[in-house]
Every structure is written in C-alpha cells, then in structure tokens.
Structure 1
Amino acid sequence: MNKVGRAWRASFMSSNLGALVAAVRSGYGVFAQSGLLVSQEIVPVPASAGLPPLPDVDFVMVGATEQLEGATRDLADLVIENIEGLAPPEAASVPAHPLRARCA
C-alpha cells in the first residue's frame, strides 16, 4: 500500500482466522487471504478499488513424510489434493510433492 501511495491502517489484528473472517464480515475492512475463503460474504476486492495486486506466496510442507500415518497422513493428503490445482501453469516445473508419490 505504501508503494502505491495508498493510506491504510490496521483496524483489527488477530492470530485467529475465525476472528479475522468475522471482522471482515462485519465490515472492519479487507484482508489478504487465500482464495479458498471466497464465499458469498467474503469476496475478492475488485481491481477498480485501486489496491495493488498481491504477490505470489509459496506453500511448503516440511516433515518426515515417510513416517506419516493415520490422521496425520490423511491431513497431509487432503492439503496436497486441495492445493495442487491452485498452482499457476508456470509452476508446472516444480517437482511433485514427495508424499504424493509415496501415497499412491
């Protein structure tokens, strides 16, 4: 916001995602968050609002994937399945997650 000369202030801060979503729903302002949260109440800010585009972010899972089992492995599978389709086409050169091959 500073780079484009747009005034801003933090009107609400929390480490709790539910609290942030509630604040946005209540009209406190806007927040930068995953497109997975888009709903009837949480909508993308239109380009006409004049906000600068958000940068790309990396999502990394770190851990001893060969030792995952039970609910932990199920959660890792669920996360991977839900983010695989979100990568832009130019990211296709990134190797597949090692857990994906092990879970086949």
Structure 2
Amino acid sequence: LKQPSPAGAAVGPKRLFVVAGGVAANRTVRATLEAVATKNGFAFLAPPMAYCTDNAAMIALAGAERLRKGLVSDIDTAARPRWPLDEQKALADPAHKPGRKGAKA
C-alpha cells in the first residue's frame, strides 16, 4: 500500500477498505492497514478478531450477515473448491473445470 494499485484506482463512490482472513488476524498489519485507509479517505472494515483466524468461522459469519439482510440463495448449487467472488460468473458456469491445481472456478 505504499504505492497506488490498479485495484485502488478503480474505486467507486463508496470508499471502503475491507480486510478479512488471516491478514485481518494480524494486529500489526490490521492497524497499519486501518491507518493507511483512514489517511487516504477510506472507511475501514474488518470482521471481529475472533472470526479472523478460522476460515469456517469467517464463512459462517458472512452467511449469518447475508441471512440477517434477507439475502438467500438456492441451496441446490454444487459445492466448488474455488468459488468465484463474482456471483454472476459462478452462476453462469457452475461446472467444475479440471486444472493443474485442481478444479477451477
């Protein structure tokens, strides 16, 4: 974050910097990212520390938040080891694709 990145340049009207997973569990990294985000005019968002060390806990928290907001999906979707972050892409091509590192999303 010392230099602007292409992802940072593509910011829309919502200036929100989100950190999750193992990165968010590191207190020093988390504090540094929060300071950089604030300095650059971004709101900082990270899950509570208790949910950052375990992927299953983070997935459960994300699911609980979606349910709380009434965002539900059909449960008949097949599991995928590498699910795309873009829901439209995931729904457009639900087949598993073999690859060198396993199934591709």
Q: Is the pair's TM-score, using the shorter chain for normalization, greater than 0.5?
A: no
Structure with the larger strand share: 2
Q: Could you tell me the TM-score, scaled by structure 2's length?
A: 0.25
Larger Rg: 1
